[in-house]
Amino acid sequence: MSDLVLFIYRKRHYLFWPFLAFCLVLVGLWWKRSQKEINELQWQFVNGYGIRMPLKYTIHGIDVSHHNSHINWKRVRQAQADGVTLQFVFVKATEGATLVDRRFKHNWAEARKAGLKRGAYHFYHPKRDPVKQAQNFIQAVPLKPGDFAPVLDLERNDRGRVPAEKLIADVRTWLQRVEDHYGRKPIIYVNRHFYKLYIDGNFDDYPLWIADYSSNHPKEFNAERLYIWQHNEKGSVDGIRGNVDFNVFVCEPERMNEICL
């Protein structure tokens, strides 16, 4: 009898580890499926806009410039896809020291008439005088209460020709001039690469608008200062020709006033 008991015990012992491995595989498959379901809830392909939208956020918007040609703002405001409407827009205002976007005045006025929350951005040229660039923006953009804070679009430094130290110092000059005029810290728009090169550790007290098309959520950024995420550049909107940049407000809705006049 004792030999039979010992035999059964040994068999159970040998079966334990394969059984444990089998259980771990099941747990892994369940976890993977759960994460997939969570991601599917957070994202949805919205046919009306032609792109996957991060639907775990509720406030969606776009940004435009003269490259979008004539815009029918009434149709933009009425656009809807699976219940998702557009609630804000950023409009290109100026570039460098002298250029004013040729569609800015029209887009700026019509976006307000359409009932969209609006903001204006300046495309920064590293080789141009930052003071003149700030003045160019200030002269062109009449921000009103409720508008977004001014935006600095930093995405150009051809082959790094302007040394990082000088670029950072000049950007600081632009930001300070514009803040002094409007009484609100400007928002910095930047991609992942430029964030690591120039923004991280230098402008951590400024609101951040990040362009990142590579993930389901923008990571590796200052979470306390990240407000807007440009998640796709190939959306389509009724009333606008061609591709449209899509953005989403990633904070609680009540925090939007933190980046508005």
Which helix (DSSP H) or strand (DSSP E) does residue 31 occupy? helix 2-42
Residue 63 annotated as catalytic = yes
Contacts of 238 (CB under 8 A, 6+ apart): 48, 72, 75, 76, 78, 79
Map residue 249 onto helix, strand or coil.
strand
Residue 155 annotated as catalytic = yes
Tokens of 187: 């928002």
Q: Which residues pair with 80 in a beta bridge?
A: 85
Tokens of 71: 């815009």
Q: Catalytic one among 63, 110, 153, 245?
A: 63
Q: Catalytic one among 40, 155, 220, 224?
A: 155
CB 158 within 8 A of CB 178: no
Residue ranges with strand state E in the chain = 43-46, 51-54, 59-64, 80-81, 84-95, 99-100, 117-123, 151-154, 187-191, 208-211, 226-235, 244-249
Rounded CA-CA distance 236/71 in Å is 12
Tell me, letter by letter, the H, E, C secondary structure of 146-211.
CCECCEEEECCCHHHCCCHHHHHHHHHHHHHHHHHHHCCCCEEEEEHHHHHHHHCCCCCCCCEEEE
| Residues involved in catalysis | 63, 155
